[in-house]
A and B are shown apart, each in its own frame.
Chain A
């Protein structure tokens, strides 16, 4: 069990994120068929595979800090992941990286601060708000839960587990929502009753972090 997020944990995190997405590719595509254009699983799987391959080739000494690695992931996402998820996941990592800065390890509170900054960058790009039926509806409660657990003095394992539980609840809460962003919004009332594919893949990102911390 890792007690702080190091670069090793982060690289493992991305690999596990890709593994989960690859295994759940059909599920994500099925969600996207209902209210989108049926490509979310395929698109995420293909893009993340390239990101993970890029992480296997570290840039020359540029990953000395956690911030630099997170930013490298953000840039890799811009190069590899198309559609709206590319810029949005990229913004999350670029923002988190800028906040993490020169640190080489993040304790739960620092991780929460970093991800909070990433979420702010994501919102700057995507301008989603709570309740719009997007990935934000899974990530925002996750970061809030992480923050609260850190404030309560929880270790990294329990803190990330709390974040994952909040992400799952946030994902499920998107089902009754009326989509107000992205392609699902064109369906209006017909978007109601379906889990948002973006919230589903974002939840996988948080679950992958729990796994990487547990194995770290």
Chain B
């Protein structure tokens, strides 16, 4: 039960976000620029006459969202404090920046703070910009109870941003891009498991502690506890517990195809993610489900959480074409 105190490469907790954004832009001067006052990361060369894509949210999920700004994906990312939505006025500023005359799409993960701030920002900007919004709610662990906030938005956000980015780049109009984004959300489900929690910058203790023989099942991306604890087991056994409910919920049948995202939550290392990926493929192949494309890596993280999520998106040819379209961002390029 004893978790050793964690040390972090930080200067001061209050400076973490600003310094990290500065570092990201210094590393990618050919791609990104920064408005430090509003914490907006945007393309160094703004796109012209296309639907603007804006996303954002609390920090701590890097490379989401600023690492996914660039050709073929986002126009602007707006960063909040760790795990706290940016303010409505930040989002409004980002919306104005993302607009090149064809309207702006907000890609919003389903959390109360994000939903409220993006909604108010859209209202504040409505005299200047036409805004539509796609709400990402893929986390199967939080399937809605009556009157609750609904499923959380997690790693399917990457698929939504990629596919919407491809359509926007190809010149689709705002309502088309938004409709496709909502369609991707409807086709996507995720589930995650964690072997260890995460610690906020400047805090030495993790958000929760786990005994050695248990893992936290159904975690989100904010260090919050999951839906319950299950026995620690081999990678193959744990992955099976992630994949089975996804296959069931998406009603996947033999002959169907998916895009699979195997996502690390912060301190899961590449060897582990590759082992998880292998088992995802094996389980799906055994059911006759084709994995059309796979993305393996840490894209939607929860600070230094040791965990992984699996996202499946039901794919068709059009979706795969949008997925394959060129992209050039700090964290996703092909």
Contacts of B200 in A (CB 8 A): 38-39, 42
**How many angstroms between the C-alpha atoms of A190 and B113 in the bound complex?**
22
**CB of A183 within 8 Å of the partner chain:** yes
- Known contacts: A33-B207, A36-B224, A78-B87. The answer to whether A46 contacts B113 by CB under 8 A is no
Question: Do A185 and B148 have beta carbons less than 8 Å apart?
Answer: yes
Q: Could you say which of A84-92, A102-110, A164-172 contacts chain B?
A: A84-92
Residue pair B224, A87 in contact (C-beta under 8 Å) = no
Interface string of A85-119 (1 = CB under 8 A from B): 11110100000000000000000000000000000
Contact B89 A83 (CB under 8 A): no
Q: With contacts A82-B86, A182-B112 known, is A87 near B81, CB below 8 A?
A: no
In the bound complex, residues from chain B placing their C-beta under 8 Å from that of A47 are 87
Do the beta carbons of A83 and B113 come within 8 Å of each other?
yes
Residue of A nearest to B89 (CB): A79
Give Cα distance in the complex from A86 to B324, angstroms.
39
Chain B residue nearest to A84 in the complex (CB): B113
Asked if B274 is at the interface of the complex by the 8 Å CB criterion, the answer is no
Given A39-B200, A88-B116, A186-B220, A83 and B225 contact (CB-CB distance below 8 Å): no
Would you call A153 an interface residue if the criterion is a C-beta within 8 Å of the partner chain's C-beta atoms? no
CB pair B145–A185 under 8 Å, yes or no, is yes
* Contact A39-B112, Cβ < 8 Å, known A78-B87, A83-B58, A86-B117: no
The reply to whether B87 and A125 form a contact with Cβ atoms under 8 Å apart is no
Q: Is the CB of A46 within 8 A of B87?
A: no
Q: What chain A residues lie within 8 Å of B147 (beta carbons)? A: 129, 132, 180-181
Which residues of chain A are within 8 angstroms of B207 by Cβ–Cβ distance?
Answer: 33, 37-38
B81 touches A43 (CB 8 A): yes
Residue B149 is within 8 A (CB to CB) of chain A in the complex: yes
Q: Is B82 engaged at the interface, CB distance under 8 Å to the other chain? A: yes
- With A38-B223, A183-B224 already in contact, the answer to whether A79 and B87 are too (CB < 8 A) is yes
Bound together, the chains give a CA A186 to CA B142 distance in angstroms of 6
Q: How many Å lie between the Cα of A87 and that of B116 in the bound state? A: 6
Interface size class of B (residues with CB under 8 A): 35 or more
Q: Does B152 contact A (CB under 8 A)?
A: yes
Contact (A46, B14) CB under 8 Å given A81-B87, A183-B224, A188-B145: yes
Also in contact, A86 and B87, with CB within 8 A (given A180-B145, A188-B145, A188-B227) = yes
B185 within 8 A of A: no
Query: Among A78, A80, A182, A187, which residue has its beta carbon within 8 angstroms of that of B149?
Result: A182
Interface contact A43-B84, CB-CB below 8 Å: yes
Cβ-Cβ contact count across A and B, 8 Å cutoff: 105
Q: How large is the interface on A (under 10, 10 to 19, 20 to 34, 35 or more residues)?
A: 20 to 34
Contact with A along B148-159 (1 / 0, CB 8 A): 110010000000
Chain A, residue nearest B13 (CB): A42
Q: Which residues in B have their C-beta under 8 angstroms from that of A87?
A: 88, 113, 116-117, 120
Query: Which of B88, B90, B224, B227 is in CB contact (< 8 Å) with A37?
Result: B224
Q: Which residues of B contact A190 (CB under 8 A)?
A: 225
- Determine if A126 is an interface residue (Cβ-Cβ < 8 Å): yes
Smallest CB separation, A15 vs chain B (Å): 20
- B52: chain A residues at CB < 8 Å are none
Chain B, range 139-169, C-beta contacts under 8 Å to A = 141-142, 145, 147-149, 152
B80 at the interface (CB under 8 A from A): yes
CA–CA, A82 and B86, complex, Å:
5
Determine if B224 and A83 form an interchain contact, defined as CB atoms under 8 angstroms apart.
no
- Are B88 and A78 in contact, CB atoms less than 8 angstroms apart? yes
Closest-CB distance, A155 to chain B (whole angstroms):
36
Taking a contact as CB atoms under 8 Å apart, the answer to whether B113 and A39 are in contact is no
The answer to whether B220 and A84 have CB atoms under 8 Å apart is: no
With A37-B222, A37-B224, A79-B89 as known contacts, state yes or no: A185 contacts B84, CB within 8 Å.
Answer: no
Residues of chain A from 57 to 89 with CB closer than 8 A to chain B in the complex: 78-88
Verify if B83 is at the interface (C-beta below 8 Å from A).
Answer: yes
**B113 engages A82 (CB within 8 Å):** yes
B interface residues (Cβ-Cβ under 8 A, vs A): 13-14, 58, 80-90, 111-113, 116-117, 120, 141-142, 145, 147-149, 152, 200, 203, 207-208, 220, 222-225, 227
Q: List the 8 closest A-B pairs by CB distance, nearest first.
A: A84-B113, A83-B84, A37-B222, A87-B116, A83-B113, A79-B89, A84-B112, A82-B84
**26 cross-chain CB contacts under 8 A:** A33-B208, A36-B224, A37-B207, A37-B223, A38-B83, A38-B223, A39-B58, A39-B83, A42-B13, A42-B200, A79-B87, A80-B87, A82-B84, A83-B80, A87-B88, A87-B117, A125-B116, A180-B148, A181-B147, A183-B112, A183-B149, A185-B145, A186-B152, A186-B220, A186-B224, A188-B227
